[in-house]
Amino acid sequence: MTETQRDILSAGFSLTLIALAAFVMQRFFLPLIWAGILCVATWPLYLRLRARIGHGVLAAALLTLLVAAVFIVPALLGVTQAARQAPELANYVVSANTDGIAVPDFVRHLPVIGDSLTEWWQATLSQPHGLAHLFAERQINGFHSASDIIKLAGVGFMHRLVDFGLAFLCLFFFYKDGEVLNRQITNIGSRWFSELRWARYSDKIPTAIRATVNGLVLVGLAEGVLIGVAYWLAGLKSAVLWAAATGILAIIPFGAPLAFVSAAGVLAFGGALPAALGVIAWGTAVLFVADHFVRPGIIGNATRLPFLAVLFGILGGVETLGLVGLFIGPVVMVLFVTLWHEAQTHREDVGSPVATPR
């Protein structure tokens, strides 16, 4: 057997093992990715906690519990509140689908679009099973009782709960063995590429993830708090729950309007049209400042990405990968821009200390 044949056979064997491992672990990719994102984003905090405690395993366990609590406590409050209102909401959906929904008075009096919107409402939502036809692609037509809706929601919740637990289990081991894993990845990367070139790319990833977490998560939660104040002042029922939902949706750029427009709709249905307009105006102002100035500034300044690269990375990541794409998209754009700058250098300088991005 020649050296070329041996190399081909060895490469095929390696690729087969990688493909089999990916096939076996495909169910766990999403929890692993979330654990990796959380680990990278909070790694400096873990190092400080380990230095103070002096025990790596204990520090990993404590920080894992702390990070989990940040997610669990608001989620439990939201689930508790939602569970109290779920039967009432489910029965309303079923009865609205069976009997139709009458046109609200404020819809009839809307300027310009009031007449056409009223006509559309009467032809669809006011008709029996009109709601089912409107959302036929979401299989609402198959629901026959409120228990069916709750059962479907419960299955989805349990599926997410398993992913949630696996993610934090992985996060503990990432903290505990993170330095060893990082050395192993660095050794492999340096062997496949030049050491300097691997360092140039790998150093960008933690910066991009931390900047994205700060720019998306923290800013989104701040939007939820600010818009939640408007909910409370407007007298919206369950204002805290609405604020939590707004903060979660605000993590996605342009996702907050879905929450505060829905909240305004609830207020308008209750006859509080001025309060509904005030919520929309305040939410739009907060959203404009956050999405056009704060987020691009935080992410772009840290990663040195232009505004369009930040925007396309976030929106494109969500479109192709879902929620986790919020964090993967900007990382991909950072690596692409690094490659773009590297391509402007002389080919023989790639991997050299003098081949710095212009």
Burial class (CB in 10 A: 0-12, 13-18, 19+), 265: middle
Query: Which pLDDT tens digit goes with each residue over 283-321?
Result: 999 988 887 778 777 777 777 777 778 778 888 888 888
pLDDT band (50, 70, 90) for residue 150: low
Asked whether the beta carbons of 268 and 254 are under 8 A apart, the reply is no
Q: What is the pLDDT of residue 305?
A: 75
21-30, 84-93, 139-148: segment of lowest average pLDDT: 139-148
Q: What is the CA radius of gyration of the chain?
A: 25
Write down how long the chain is. Answer: 358
Q: Quote the strand ranges of 78-157, DSSP E.
A: none
Whole-angstrom Cα distance, residue 329 to residue 341?
A: 19
Within a 10 A sphere around the Cβ of 355, how many other Cβ atoms?
18
Q: Cα separation of 275 and 246, whole Å?
A: 17
CA–CA dist 93, 150 (Å, integer): 11
**Phi-psi category of 236—alpha, beta or left, where left has phi over 0 and alpha has psi -120 to 50?**
beta
Q: Is the pLDDT of residue 345 over 80?
A: no
User: Among 126, 339, 299, 149, which Cα is nearest to 218's?
Assistant: 299
User: Cα–Cα distance between 223 and 247 in angstroms, integer?
Assistant: 6
pLDDT in tens, 188-216: 888 888 888 888 888 888 888 888 887 88
pTM > 0.75: yes or no: no
Q: Give the other-Cβ count within 10 Å of 134's Cβ.
A: 15
Give the Å distances, CA to CA, from 141 to 91, 95, 102, 155, 157.
15, 13, 19, 19, 21
Which residue in 293, 304, 292, 294 sits closest to 336, CA to CA?
A: 304
